Amino acid sequence: PNVAGKNFGHLKRIQDQVTELKPDQTIIFQHCIIHQEVLCKCVLKISHAVDTVTKAVNFIRAKSLNHRQFVSLLEETESGHADLPYHTNVRWLSLGKVLKRVWDLKSEIAEFLQIKGKYVDFPQLQDKEWLAHFTLTVDIMALMNELNSKLQGKGLFAHQMYSLVKAFKGKLLLLTLQVEANNLTHLPTLLVCSLSDDQWEKYTSLLRALKVNVPLDRVQAGWEETSGPYHVQRLADHYGIFKDQFPMAYFVPWVTLSFSYDQDSSAQVHYGNHLMPKEMSICWIVKGSVCAGWLGTSQVGL
C-alpha cells in the first residue's frame, strides 16, 4: 500500500485509524527498497544511447518479414544468439538485457541494416563517442540488473536488502576510483574502447553521480526510526560497517569483514510485511564493537 501518498489514500486511512484508536502510537511507512534503488539509473542520462538502440530493435522486430530475415541471418552467421529481445519500461530488468544483446550482435545488426538500406539512418553506430557511452551503459546496467535480481530473491529480510544496496554503492565507489586511475578492469565492455581525456573525466563524473544518488540515506533513516528500543547498532555488510573506524577497508575489496548473527526474539518485522500476530517473524540484529587499532577479518558475536 505504500504506493499511496501519506496525505491521501490507504496510508492516510491507516494513520487516521491508528490515531483514533491509539493516539500515542507512531507509524513509520517504509518505501520499497527495490523501487528506491532503481530510480538511480536516471542519473546516467542514457536516453541518447537507449533511443538509438530502441529504434534499431523496433525496425527489426516491428515487421514480421524483417524479424524472420534477421533471425535467418543470425542462424547463418552462427552468432550464438537466436533472436533480439524487445525492451519494455514495464519489465524494468529488460533494458540491461536488450543493451547487452545489441552490443553482442552489433556486427549482425549493422550488416542487416546495410542489406535493408537503413544503415545511413543510424550514424551513431559509427560515432566513437556514442559507442563509448553505449558500452558504459551496457556495463552499468549489467551491474544494476545483477543487484535488482538479488533484491527480488525469495525470503529476504529488509536488512538483507539494505546490505545489498549498500554493497552496490561500495562497488560504485570502487569503480569510480578505478576509472579515475584509468582502470577499466570491472567495465569489460567499455574496455574495448579507446577513451580521450575528456571521456575519462566525463565517465568518472557519471559514476560519482550515480553513487551519490543511490538512495541509501532515506533507507537508513527509515531503519533508524524503526529500530525503537532495540537499537540496531550496525547493519552487517562487506562494504561499510566499520567505515568510520577504518576508511581504507571501506573500498579495498580484499579486506573481508564477516559476522555472526543472533536473533532478538522480541523484535518484530514490520517493514512492509503483511503478517498476522501469530506469524510475526524475528529480526536479525548485529551488536558489538572493536578496538580502534583493529584491522582484518573477525567474527563479531553477541
pLDDT at 233 over 80: no
- Which residue, among 128, 133, 124, has the nearest Cα to 44 in the 3D structure? 133
Q: Regarding predicted confidence, which is higher, 34 or 50?
A: 50
Residues 71-125: tens digit of each pLDDT: 888 888 777 777 777 655 545 557 788 888 889 889 999 999 999 999 999 999 9
Q: What is the pLDDT of residue 3?
A: 52
Q: What is the pLDDT of residue 247?
A: 40
Q: Which residues of 173-188 are buried (b: 16+ CB within 10 A; e: fewer)?
A: bbbbebbeeeebeebe
| Mean pLDDT for all residues in the chain | 67
pLDDT at 287 over 80: no
Residues 182-229: tens digit of each pLDDT: 888 888 888 888 888 888 888 888 777 776 555 555 545 554 444 433
pLDDT at 129 over 50: yes
Q: What is the pLDDT of residue 73?
A: 82
User: In the chain, where are the structural domains located?
Assistant: 1-30, 32-226, 232-302
